Amino acid sequence: MVTRPAIFKWRQTQPGLILCAVRWYLRYSLSLRDVEELLEERGLNVDHTTVWRWVQCYGPEAPIYSSAIPDSKKEGTLRHRCRHRPVQYLNNILEQDHRAIKRRVNAKQGFRGFQAAQRTIQGYEAVHMIRKGQIRWVAGDDLLRQIQFIDNLFDLAA
């Protein structure tokens, strides 16, 4: 009998299917109902609210600016005089990087709660970083390696 990681305890669905649904939602411009339909086509009858709960629970986290900038200053990556400028045209490179994430948020028609928004956007950011090849030993164009990397985060055998 194969034991599942403790993080998936009390889940009736296989961990690989849960992570696949979360990855689809965070990677592509799909609504929760779209992911529900894709899973239903594959023989798994799951409600869209369950997919939403999975995203909140299993979405990978990415650092946000409020903590990333001071941490980078402590590491010495950024100078101590460096500051975040929240004016869009002054941060064009940053804003261009977030364009794909903004498109996904707009396609989902926003969020109802702050915690849900924070967790989901962190998941978008993390998956976007993986897709762009910003993770060591995972190329941006190697989809299978990206899937293996996410599975390894949750201690799943590939």
pLDDT over threshold 60, residue 61: yes
Q: Which residue do the tokens 């239903």 mark? A: 40
pLDDT above 60: residue 31: yes
Q: According to the model, what pLDDT value does residue 109 have?
A: 66
pTM to 2 decimals?
A: 0.54
Residue 131 has a pLDDT of 80
* Over residues 113-137, mean pLDDT: 80
More confident call, 69 vs 95: 69
Q: Quick check: 36 and 46 in contact, CB under 8 A?
A: yes
Cα angle vertex 149, ends 144, 153, to 5°? 150
